[in-house]
């Protein structure tokens, strides 16, 4: 057969139709400027939507900046979002739609652990990078699910930080532990007990409280009678946290109260009297720190100014979630640029070799054996009552 331009084109067309030119179609898409698709699914409405709405703004701000500079690899970036209402069934359906119908290049979310666990096999099947917000530790498994990375830290990290602050910052060891009786609260109780045991510490009181109980005064009295000199409060619900701190204030129990990161939002300062917040602190991230004028670090202030229309309305829901959406999007985009491709294996190799990267959220770095990106050095302790312009002062 004589080889000429016409025969070569016909042969290529035949191979492409038969699926025998891997990468050819993706190369054509890249050359044609087809969008890079970012999938994002979370509880964007309902009782678990506070953080997700703020994170949504962060993703949108990052994408706006990327597109203003020509996109990623010269291609525009498109956000494809789905609202799961924190329903695991909806999460499973939406994940399949995003992965196999929309064919997204990366998947952010979900923001609850109940949604994160049942979707992992679909992510593995699609061989797509996923960066969940869900805090439960065993969502991350580098061997079984190497495409799942976490930027924002885990429940285990946060509890470890809380215990460390009790021991090292306050020099207290008689710990009373309060959690709610929902699945995340029970998980955190077990994690806290495990981590205290590893330090040869036995809590003097453990209260697994009804998440809907209005008056927690009797529980505070029991904990106080145990001789506790520091209170550790862990929950994913602002309302529960507010009721614990209110009961503590009403009982005039003035020992330090170290609270989960959910305590560091405007809802707590709205729900709890200021005098009841004396001695109440929250475990958070260094990016939350503001100066005497209520100003964040320069990079964060620049984001809030440049993308005010996108992120401004969500600042009340937490700068942490805004920065998580923003930083994770920018981190993935940087890995794509380093790899020169949106192909999963190439982007994973880039993420594993980028080293510790400074983001607006904090220092994040991955390796072949680690998919937990956040450094423990990023955790800090903040005074809850100091809330100002979305930030807090260090305790």
- pLDDT tens digits in sequence order for the chain, 395 residues long: 443 433 433 333 443 333 433 333 444 444 447 999 999 999 999 888 988 999 999 999 999 999 999 999 999 999 999 999 999 999 999 999 999 999 999 999 999 888 999 999 999 999 999 999 999 999 999 999 999 999 999 999 999 999 999 999 999 999 999 999 998 899 999 999 999 999 999 999 999 999 999 999 999 999 999 999 999 999 988 899 999 999 999 999 999 999 999 899 888 999 999 999 999 999 999 999 999 999 999 999 999 999 999 999 999 888 999 999 999 999 999 999 999 999 999 999 999 999 999 999 999 999 999 999 999 999 999 999 999 888 999 99
DSSP symbol at 264: S
Beta bridge partners of 180: 209
In the chain, the DSSP E strands lie at: 36-42, 77-83, 106-108, 129-131, 175-180, 205-209, 230-234, 257-259, 280-285, 357-358, 363-364, 379-383
Q: How far apart are CA 59 and CA 104, in angstroms?
A: 15
Q: pTM for the complete prediction?
A: 0.86
Fold of 12-152+299-375: Rossmann fold (3.40.50)
Q: 374 — phi, psi (to 5°)?
A: -80, 135
Q: How far apart are CA 353 and CA 370, in angstroms?
A: 12
Fold of 156-291+381-386: Rossmann fold (3.40.50)
DSSP count for the chain of H helices, then E strands: 15, 12
What residues does CATH 3.40.50.2300 cover in the chain? 12-152+299-375, 156-291+381-386
């Amino acid at each position: 057969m004589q080889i000429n331009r016409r025969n070569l084109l016909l042969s290529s067309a035949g191979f492409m139709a038969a699926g025998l030119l891997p990468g050819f179609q993706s190369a054509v898409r890249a050359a044609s400027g087809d969008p890079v698709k970012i999938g994002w699914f979370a509880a964007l409405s309902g009782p678990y939507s506070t953080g997700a709405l703020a994170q949504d703004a962060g993703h949108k701000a990052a994408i706006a900046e990327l597109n203003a500079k020509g996109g990623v690899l010269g291609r525009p970036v498109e956000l494809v979002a789905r609202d799961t209402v924190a329903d695991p069934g909806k999460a499973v359906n939406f994940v399949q739609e995003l992965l196999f119908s929309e064919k997204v290049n990366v998947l952010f979310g979900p923001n609850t652990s109940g949604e994160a666990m049942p979707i992992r096999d679909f992510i593995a099947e699609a061989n797509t990078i996923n960066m969940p917000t869900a805090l439960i530790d065993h969502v991350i498994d580098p061997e079984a699910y190497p495409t799942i990375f976490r930027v924002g830290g885990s429940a285990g990290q946060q509890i470890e930080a809380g215990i460390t602050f009790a021991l090292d910052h306050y020099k207290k060891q008689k710990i009373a532990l309060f959690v709610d009786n929902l699945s995340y609260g029970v998980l955190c109780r077990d994690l806290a007990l495990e981590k205290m045991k590893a330090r040869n510490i036995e809590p003097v009181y453990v209260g697994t409280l009804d998440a809907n109980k209005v008056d927690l005064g009797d529980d505070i009295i029991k904990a106080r009678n145990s001789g506790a000199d520091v209170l550790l409060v862990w929950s994913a619900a602002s309302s529960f946290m507010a009721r614990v701190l209110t009961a503590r204030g009403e009982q005039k129990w003035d020992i330090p109260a170290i609270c989960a990161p959910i305590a560091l939002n405007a809802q707590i300062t709205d729900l709890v009297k200021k005098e009841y917040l004396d001695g109440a602190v929250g475990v958070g991230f260094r990016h939350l720190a503001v100066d005497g004028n209520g100003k964040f670090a320069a990079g964060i202030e620049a984001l809030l100014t440049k993308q005010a229309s996108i992120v401004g309305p969500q600042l009340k829901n937490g700068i942490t979630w805004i920065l998580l959406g923003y930083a994770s999007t920018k981190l993935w985009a940087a890995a794509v640029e380093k790899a020169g491709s949106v192909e999963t294996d190439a982007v994973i190799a880039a993420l594993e070799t980028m080293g510790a990267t400074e983001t607006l959220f904090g220092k994040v770095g991955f390796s072949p054996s680690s998919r937990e990106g956040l450094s423990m050095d990023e955790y800090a302790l903040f005074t809850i009552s100091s809330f100002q312009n979305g930030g807090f002062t260090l305790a």
